[in-house]
Amino acid sequence: MNFPIFKTKIEGLTRKFNLTDPKDQRDYFEAKAGREIEKLREYLKNNTFVAYLLGKKNSGKGTYSKMFAEIVAPEKVKHFSMGDMIRNVDRELADEKKKKELFDFLKKNYRGRFPLKEIISGLERRDTKTLLPTELILTLVKREMEKKEKKAIFIDGFPRDLDQIGFSLFFRDLIGHRDDPDVFILIDVPEKVIDERIKWRRVCPACQTSRNLKLLPTSKIGYDKEKNDYYLLCDNPNCSALQSFAEQNLGGRGVKLLPKEGDELGIEPIRERFIRDEKLMEMAFSLYGIPKILLRNSLPVKEAKNFVDDYEITPEYVFELDEKENKVKIKERPWVFSVQGVESLSLLPQPVVVSLIKQMVNTLNL
């Protein structure tokens, strides 16, 4: 698969945007893709689309689609996660009333290769690693779609396996979006980037805000003298942590973000899934009759100045303790890594979403 480098740099635009600031981010999208955003908003007043997000785990599927929705029309666009849907089903199975409603729906709507009794039994004793039959997945999606107002949707997690590719070609018909344009969105992210995203990921135990100690820190940094280690403090103004919890742990300055178990191993525990996702993307890329949007997260160092602005590139953050002021200082430096022997840089989410917006306009013939 050949993912072209998308140019977001605009000649003559000299303003530098702080992409961590919400107002600057809005101005950035207006400057880089204002006309395209207006076209999409006009289209979404009376129309919708179905987009299938395909990429390796932690490639940014949720981040890109949610940012697209936020910038274009949050009331008209929805990110639909298959994983979230299945986790919700698992919770329903623990509630007798909701479980009965679920099984009643399946009795009326399920069609597939396996007997319904076997399907229900499998649901009740399923472990999280077992993939559900495709026909059941489609029935559950139909159920979710019937509950919600019709919107443009980004599907995250389907197709999940090679045998589901064929179903995806008819997915919009199966869920009632019969006249919607549909599109595959393929996301190319180097393994090195995903590996660093996992290894340095930190999550707030209270509000689940996810950041990265190396690539996306919070505004609050702490230092553990005993461990000679820096850590992040949650700065989410809507964090649900009780003040007493924060005071008990960190003197009232915030809640410490923690690594998830196994994150220190990076991509190794999920390498088999990486291989499967790669094959899935290759098959989707080769299909006829459905348009593709290609999103690329990285580019060679030697090409960067011609295609993107400096502030669109992912920096690496390093910390330094000022012992006199007893304060941690944050410094930025270029993050350069190798992709098949080529020195490369990673892009922040915003320029990738600019590419998504502009390619979506072309795909919808706007």
**pLDDT, tens digit, for every residue of 89-125?**
888 888 889 888 888 888 888 887 888 888 777 777 7
Query: By mean pLDDT, which of 124-128, 290-294, 342-346 is the weakest?
Result: 124-128
User: By the 8 A CB rule, do 182 and 365 touch?
Assistant: no
What phi-psi label fits residue 155: left (phi over 0), alpha (psi between -120 and 50 degrees) or beta? Answer: beta
- The Cα-based distances of 32 to 93, 300, 360, 361 in angstroms read 47, 22, 15, 14
Ramachandran angles phi, psi of 42, nearest 5°: -65, -40
Q: What is the pLDDT of residues 319-328, one digit of tens each?
A: 998 888 778 9
Query: Do 207 and 234 contact (CB within 8 A), yes or no?
Result: yes
- Which of the four CATH numbers 1.10.287, 3.40.1350, 3.40.50, 3.30.110 does domain 22-76+151-363 have? 3.40.50
Q: What is the pLDDT of residue 77?
A: 94
Share of the chain above pLDDT 70, in %: 89
**Distance between CA atoms of residues 229 and 268, nearest Å:** 24
Lowest mean pLDDT among 2-11, 59-68, 160-169: 160-169
Question: What pairs with residue 199 in β-bridges?
Answer: none
CA distance 351 to 20: 13
Write the pLDDT tens digit of every residue in 226-275. 888 999 988 777 776 644 454 455 445 678 899 988 999 999 988 888 88
Using alpha carbons only, give the angle 366, 2, 159 rounded to the nearest 5 degrees. Answer: 70
What percentage of the chain exceeds 90 in pLDDT? 43
Q: Span 30-38, mean pLDDT?
A: 97
